[in-house]
Amino acid sequence: MNLSEPKQITFWIAVIVAVVGVIAYLVTIPVLSGLAFWLVVIAFIILALGNLLEGF
């Protein structure tokens, strides 16, 4: 399995989603607080796909 560097936009999208998830966990945000864990998981999946798929 060859890993590739994710595109810069993919990296920043993953970082933004992860930060929103962490903030939603720490601060009560009506819609997002219940989804905080899943937001961080989605961010990790985006970043993992960026490493596994070339050009993503």
pLDDT of residue 1: 76
Q: Which long-range contacts (CB under 8 A, 24 or more apart) does 43-48 make?
A: 43/14, 43/15, 43/17, 43/18, 44/14, 44/18, 46/10, 46/13, 46/14, 46/17, 47/6, 47/10, 47/11, 47/14
pLDDT of residue 52: 94
Average pLDDT, the chain: 94
Task: Examine the pLDDT at 17 and tell me if it is beyond 80.
Answer: yes
Name the 3-class secondary structure at 33.
Answer: helix
Region 5-34 average pLDDT: 95
CA distance 33 to 26: 8
Task: Examine the pLDDT at 39 and tell me if it is beyond 90.
Answer: yes
Evaluate whether 17 touches 49 at the Cβ level (below 8 Å): no
Region 3-19 average pLDDT: 95
pLDDT of residue 55: 81
